[in-house]
Chains A and B, each alone.
Chain A
Amino acid sequence: MRPIIEVNGLGKSYVAHKPGQKWSGDFADIAMDLLHRIARGEIFRKEVEERFWALRHLEFKVYPGEVVALAGHNGAGKSTLLKVLSRITMPNEGSALIRGRLGSLLEVGTGFHPDLTGRENVFLAGTILGMSRLEVNQRFDEIVAFAEMETFIDQKVKRYSSGMYLRLAFSVAAHLSTEVLLIDEALAVGDVNFQRKCMGKMGQIAGEGRTVLFVSHSVSAMRNLCTRGILLDHGQLVMDGNIETVIQAYLAHGSKSDDRLEWVNPTNAYFHPSFQPQSLRLINEDEQSSHPDFRSRLSVQIEAFIQSPEQDLNIGLCVSTPEGNELFRTFLRDTPAFADLRLESGRHLLSVALPSCILNEGDYRIELIATASNLWLLEPSKGNPSIPFSIQGGFGITPYWLQRRPGVLAPELEWSVLP
């Protein structure tokens, strides 16, 4: 039997920093950068484009009917691989051949529009995911039944509860009939019952003899669904084999933790005369555990250089989930003592302590943001310096809180029993 997916030396790189910010579209940036370089007498020195390889030298084959887990820590390249294989983005090296129709489910609710009814959204999302109208029509009843949505299907989706919305969205995606399916873990959604149903459906898809590439952080999901695993690390394939072996390697790799929890300005990116970040570090105050867990006391250190001071420069951080949901922002000038602080020119080191026992188990991103004179210098989610990190644990110290609870936050709060 011929492999259904053949990956040959696949590589994907991104430009880490464009010299002169050629394409940023902001004339002021270009001019400032030029002035900066004239000042340092290096106008003519050609800066080399730095490329960051999110994936490189990838080589593997998948045979029809295999259900393969893509394992790896944040930034290992799993999502990039799915994006390249699903053709959302193009590789810079190598090739991949897929001998069959391919469907990709990277997100729940792709193509859903709140102002349309459930029925209209099923057709819309189905065609966006690659089905023809006829195919959606044939599976329509099945999709609605699976989502348990018969009564509300002609109501606008914005009137749905988030659970209903997710159920319908998953159901559309789960009824794709392509030979190859690329699935991101974010797909198992909704309440516990429906999650179980989702996992069951994915198991069924796997059992139908379709080929599935499944990205997950969840060891139990990988174990339940997959027979084979591929472990990625820093964009390279480090292990390909039996799922159990790969899981062991993945877990072992996690505790070693060579994920550096820091960002260092590689060149002169993010140059702004009134605020140029040099580095961003996430520091675990509890030295014994290298990986931040629920109880660790974390602090963030910001190192920045200021050339021309600005009166109301405000530096902050924004914590969000990898999907881009913002949890909170915090700013230097939130602290009353610093409300009128003037940061003079030169190098500055700031530190802020993050509350412990508040972030749930999961992946987060901490991002540097800054404003001056009511304008963003570093606007949230505009590709600012950031550190991805994951919190492990996420449960309390009493026997009544032994596993990860649903929810974005998992604060440990003070209860009292009043007399």
Chain B
Amino acid sequence: MNQPQTAQRTEIPEAPQSSWTLINVKGVGAMAAVGEFWRARDLLRMLVMRHLKIRFAQTAMGALWVVLQPLMTALIFSVLFGVFVKVPSEGIPYVVYAYPAMILWSVFAQSFERGSASLMIEERLITKVYFPRLVIPISASLSTLADFIISTLLLLPICLFFGIRPSPLSIFAFIGLPPIVILSSSLGIIAAALSIRYRDLRQVAPFVTQLWFYATPVVYPLTVVPESLRTAVLCNPVSAPVLWFRAAFIGTAFPPLWSMAASYATSLAVLALAIVIFRNVERGMADWL
């Protein structure tokens, strides 16, 4: 073996130790992974922006679609449940009753759906360049926040149109958002990670979402649920935030505080689980895809 020919070159200062990388079988340590993720925050932001820009590229109505989706669903259910079945809506026009809950539910469902499909969609990126993989599902999930903001802004004119004065407690509505975002992104991360090995998950996910929808008091009030089952419904970590969000805006009954606390706790626990699962799958990700 020849000696490396470095003699004629100028001395190059060594890079700081913080930028070194050790590559071995064990992979990145937990602390290093946190640092890496932090350094990837610009990337996270760029990917969220990309999701938004691509979504409205070459659509005539642009952001209007965001509003139409939960609104149309709310209208369909108003006809179905408000007019035909006459589900009680605590004395409030059914559309106004269903729409706020539908907003939060859409965030949950879409963030989960986009997160879980994200790794498959970004296969090319994953096999061609390294960055903390977690930014992929997270950026996909977070892109739903734009939908949330736009549809929430529309809530006010809708309320006024139906002659409902938004409650002064509205500012507290957003307490319902964090558990929804954390839970849905975490579930998205888990589904994305597992679907690399078990592609079946892609078939199962829509089912689960649909079942979950009916298990959550979105299109019906909690009062139609038999007394004995109410605690069970409230244990569903999506229920309390949805009820909370609606209550704060249009003055319906707030869910019990314990159920909100439980929702926060559950979502954080699922987040921890998601990170553990993801880190395990991340090691072989490029090879399995």
State whether A88 and B127 are in contact (beta carbons under 8 Å apart), knowing that A95-B22, A102-B21 are contacts in the complex. yes
State whether A88 and B25 are in contact (beta carbons under 8 Å apart), knowing that A23-B197, A133-B46 are contacts in the complex. no
State whether A240 and B2 are in contact (beta carbons under 8 Å apart), knowing that A25-B199, A97-B22, A124-B46 are contacts in the complex. yes
- The minimal Cβ–Cβ distance linking A84 to chain B, given in whole angstroms, is 7
| Chain B minimum-CB-distance residue to A103 | B129
Question: In the complex the two chains form, what is the Cα distance from A228 to B126 in whole Å?
Answer: 30
- The minimal Cβ–Cβ distance linking A233 to chain B, given in whole angstroms, is 16
Question: In the complex the two chains form, what is the Cα distance from A90 to B47 in whole Å?
Answer: 24
Instruction: Determine whether the beta carbon of A25 is less than 8 Å from that of B198.
Output: yes
Instruction: Determine whether the beta carbon of B54 is less than 8 Å from that of A104.
Output: no
Instruction: Determine whether the beta carbon of A99 is less than 8 Å from that of B53.
Output: no
For A88, give its contact among B12, B39, B50, B130 (CB under 8 Å). B130
Question: In the complex the two chains form, what is the Cα distance from A116 to B24 in whole Å?
Answer: 37
Contacts of B39 in A (CB 8 A): 132
State whether A113 and B125 are in contact (beta carbons under 8 Å apart), knowing that A2-B14, A25-B200, A83-B286 are contacts in the complex. no
Q: Does A209 contact B (CB under 8 A)?
A: yes
Q: Does B210 contact A (CB under 8 A)?
A: no
- Determine the interface band of chain A, counting residues with CB < 8 A from chain B: 35 or more
Task: Tell me which of B3-11, B66-74, B243-251 binds A.
Answer: B3-11
Instruction: Determine whether the beta carbon of A104 is less than 8 Å from that of B10.
Output: no
Contacts of A91 in B (CB 8 A): 23-25
Question: In the complex the two chains form, what is the Cα distance from A292 to B128 in whole Å?
Answer: 30
Instruction: Determine whether the beta carbon of B2 is less than 8 Å from that of A228.
Output: yes
For A96, give its contact among B19, B23, B46, B131 (CB under 8 Å). B23
**In the complex, chain A residues 69-121 whose Cβ is within 8 Å of any chain B Cβ:** 83-102, 104, 106-107, 110-111, 113, 115-116, 120
State whether A115 and B23 are in contact (beta carbons under 8 Å apart), knowing that A1-B6, A61-B4 are contacts in the complex. no
Question: In the complex the two chains form, what is the Cα distance from A4 to B2 in whole Å?
Answer: 17
**In the complex, chain B residues 1-47 whose Cβ is within 8 Å of any chain A Cβ:** 1-2, 4-6, 9-12, 14-15, 17, 19-25, 27, 39, 42-43, 45-47
Number of interface residues of B (CB under 8 A): 49
Q: Does A179 contact B (CB under 8 A)?
A: yes
Instruction: Determine whether the beta carbon of B12 is less than 8 Å from that of A97.
Output: no
Question: In the complex the two chains form, what is the Cα distance from A92 to B199 in whole Å?
Answer: 25
Q: By CB atoms of chain B within 10 A, which of A97, A100, A128 has the most? A: A128
Contacts of A132 in B (CB 8 A): 39, 42
- The minimal Cβ–Cβ distance linking A177 to chain B, given in whole angstroms, is 11
Contacts of A371 in B (CB 8 A): none
Instruction: Determine whether the beta carbon of B129 is less than 8 Å from that of A90.
Output: no
Q: Does A127 contact B (CB under 8 A)?
A: yes
B208-227 CB mask vs A (1 if < 8 Å, else 0) is 00000000000000000000
**In the complex, chain A residues 1-54 whose Cβ is within 8 Å of any chain B Cβ:** 1-2, 4, 10, 14, 23, 25
Contacts of B43 in A (CB 8 A): 127-128
Contacts of A101 in B (CB 8 A): 15, 19
Instruction: Determine whether the beta carbon of B23 is less than 8 Å from that of A97.
Output: yes
Contacts of B4 in A (CB 8 A): 61-63, 66, 228
State whether A113 and B5 are in contact (beta carbons under 8 Å apart), knowing that A23-B197, A128-B131 are contacts in the complex. no
- The minimal Cβ–Cβ distance linking A222 to chain B, given in whole angstroms, is 15
Contacts of B5 in A (CB 8 A): 66, 227-228, 242
Interface residues of A (CB under 8 A from B): 1-2, 4, 10, 14, 23, 25, 61-66, 83-102, 104, 106-107, 110-111, 113, 115-116, 120, 123-124, 127-130, 132-133, 156, 179, 209, 227-228, 240-242, 245
Closest 6 CB pairs of A and B: A100-B15, A95-B24, A241-B2, A115-B57, A87-B130, A64-B12
